[in-house]
Amino acid sequence: MTFKPRVGRLKWVFTDHPVYFLAACTQRRRPILDNRVGHDSFRAFALGAEKFRVLVGAYTIMPDHLHCFVGFMEGAPSLWMWMKSLRNTLSKALKETGVMPPHWQDGFLDHLLRSEESYQDKWHYVRENPVRAGLVKQAEDWPFQGQIHRLEVSKRRS
């Protein structure tokens, strides 16, 4: 999953609590994320994000990339800063296990969700990723996925 150059991030979001679908790939698609250390580090970061007014919903960690849904409340850091912190946290954990950097491709994919339906559609696609990759027979057998918080896509303000 290499991301093509794309239009810049939105400068204004017309919702009180935006929910994003995010994806980030490892450098050269190295299979370094699908392990207990990576998963535990991600979960600890996601649980701690709440104190910074960020809620992590459903997520799937694949060998060479991760997907997650993230809700930002008023007063939360920017999307860019949050992703930088997440990747730094995971990189630190990877280094402690002997996986040398660089760990991440530049940039990441972000998509502002516009309806509850798009959240469910995207989650179904992401949840089935390990099955499509031939890693498990059923999505529920993949040990590196879950949900931290239940997110709801808020309606646009008038």
- Enumerate residues 6+ apart whose C-beta is below 8 A from 54: 70, 71, 72, 73, 76, 77, 82
CA distance 79 to 54: 10
Residue 9 lies in a domain: no
Residue 153 lies in a domain: no
Tell me which residue range forms the domain holding 101.
19-147
Tally the domains of the chain: 1
Residue 89 lies in a domain: yes
Query: What percent of the chain shows pLDDT beyond 70?
Result: 86
Could you tell me the CATH number of the domain that includes residue 89? 3.30.70.1290
In the chain, where does DSSP find H-type helix?
36-48, 79-96, 116-127, 129-132
Give the number of C-alpha atoms closer than 13 A to the C-alpha of residue 44, restricted to the C-beta side: 11
The average pLDDT across 138-151 equals 96
Residue 154 lies in a domain: no
Would you say the pTM of this structure is higher than 0.75?
yes
pLDDT tens per residue, range 52-88: 999 999 999 999 999 999 999 999 999 999 999 999 9
CA distance 118 to 156: 14
pLDDT at residue 10 is higher than 50: no
Residue 57 lies in a domain: yes
Residue 152 lies in a domain: no
The average pLDDT across 13-29 equals 83
Residue 5 lies in a domain: no
Residue 42 lies in a domain: yes
